[in-house]
Amino acid sequence: MTTRIKFCGLTRIEDVRAAVALGVDAIGFVFARRSRRFVEPGHAAALRDALPPFVSAVALFMDDEPDWIEQVIGAVRPDLLQFHGEETPPFAARFARPYLKAVPMASVGDAAAYARRYADARGFLLDSHASGGAGGSGTVFDWSAVPRLPRPVVLAGGLDAGNVAQAIAQVKPYAVDVSSGIELAPGLKDAAKMRAFVEAVRAADR
Ligand SMILES: O=C(O)c1ccccc1NCC(=O)[C@H](O)[C@H](O)COP(=O)(O)O
């Protein structure tokens, strides 16, 4: 099976173009203001316009106000929302857009029960949320704790070109998601690391 690839936390047009040229499936833009990878909606809209058909734009939020989320949706027209905080299932559903729910694997005891709560989620992004933080920590969690889930699993948290093949072999996720592992600095991606990551995923799929 082909493992889908999402690159997250992009802020520069050259990084978006490089990711598209590598054939990634989705690009994540972070609209949580506390993030070091935050992008203004107007700038993200320009980045989004560089995406060809069949490459998805994903808008990330973390306990943000509904007005802010609506503003971002209006400006960026994301294909998918991604919620990283304590958003409840009704809150996540109120925007009438498909969404992923991030599951904080470092703190959630029963990930399957957690996932069942979010009956409307299109998939679950399993991340470490290291030290009670958000996402994008660059920290791996214990992959043996990944249960069978009723909808697609997007594996995130500390992935890079060196460990993603092992992660795919062990978890067999629908998709992998990376931010820190393809960066020079927060929000600034590295062309060589992006390429190495995609090549490692393709090799793992063969
Ligand atoms: O990236 C952030 O700064 C961030 C802030 C608040 C909520 C979510 C955030 N990022 C989510 C992600 O980018 C993914 O979880 C990520 O791909 C995994 O990150 P990493 O461990 O750095 O690869």
ipTM score: 0.96
Q: First vs last Cα of the chain: how many Å apart? A: 9
The tens-digit pLDDT sequence of the chain (206 residues) is 899 999 999 999 999 999 999 999 999 999 999 899 999 999 999 999 999 999 999 999 999 999 999 999 999 999 999 999 999 999 999 999 999 999 999 878 788 988 899 999 999 999 987 555 666 678 899 999 898 898 999 999 999 999 999 999 999 999 999 999 999 999 999 999 999 999 999 999 99
Beta strands 183-185; 188-189: pairing state: antiparallel
Handedness of CA 109, 112, 117, 123 (dihedral sign): positive
User: What pLDDT was estimated at residue 177?
Assistant: 98
SS3 51: coil
The CATH number assigned to the domain holding 24 equals 3.20.20.70
User: What pLDDT was estimated at residue 128?
Assistant: 86
Residue 56 phi, psi (nearest 5): -90, 145
User: What pLDDT was estimated at residue 193?
Assistant: 98
Find out whether the beta carbon of 33 lies less than 6 Å from any atom of ligand 1. Answer: no
Say how many Å lie between the CA of residue 134 and the centre of ligand 1.
Answer: 7
Q: Which of 184, 179, 175 is closest to 130 using CA atoms? A: 179
User: What pLDDT was estimated at residue 108?
Assistant: 81
The answer to whether the beta carbons of residues 19 and 196 sit under 8 Å apart is no
Find where tokens 């993030």 sit: 35
- Cα(206)–Cα(15) distance, rounded to whole angstroms? 26
User: What pLDDT was estimated at residue 137?
Assistant: 74
User: Does the annotation count 127 as an active-site position?
Assistant: yes
- Catalytic residue from among 15, 64, 67, 127: 127
Choosing from 4, 5, 8 the residue with most ligand 1 atoms within 8 A of its CB, the one to mutate for a pocket test is: 8
Q: Can you point out the beta strands (E) in 95-186? A: 99-104, 123-127, 153-155, 175-178, 183-185
- Cα(100)–Cα(103) distance, rounded to whole angstroms? 9
- Catalytic residue from among 8, 15, 64, 177: 8
Ligand 1 nearest atom to the CA of residue 138, by list position:
21
Find out whether the beta carbon of 127 lies less than 6 Å from any atom of ligand 1. Answer: yes
Say how many Å lie between the CA of residue 28 and the centre of ligand 1.
Answer: 9
Find out whether the beta carbon of 62 lies less than 6 Å from any atom of ligand 1. Answer: yes
Ligand 1 nearest atom to the CA of residue 160, by list position:
23
Say how many Å lie between the CA of residue 159 and the centre of ligand 1.
Answer: 11
- Cα(184)–Cα(18) distance, rounded to whole angstroms? 14
The total of structural domains in the chain comes to: 1
Q: Which domain holds residue 144?
A: 4-205
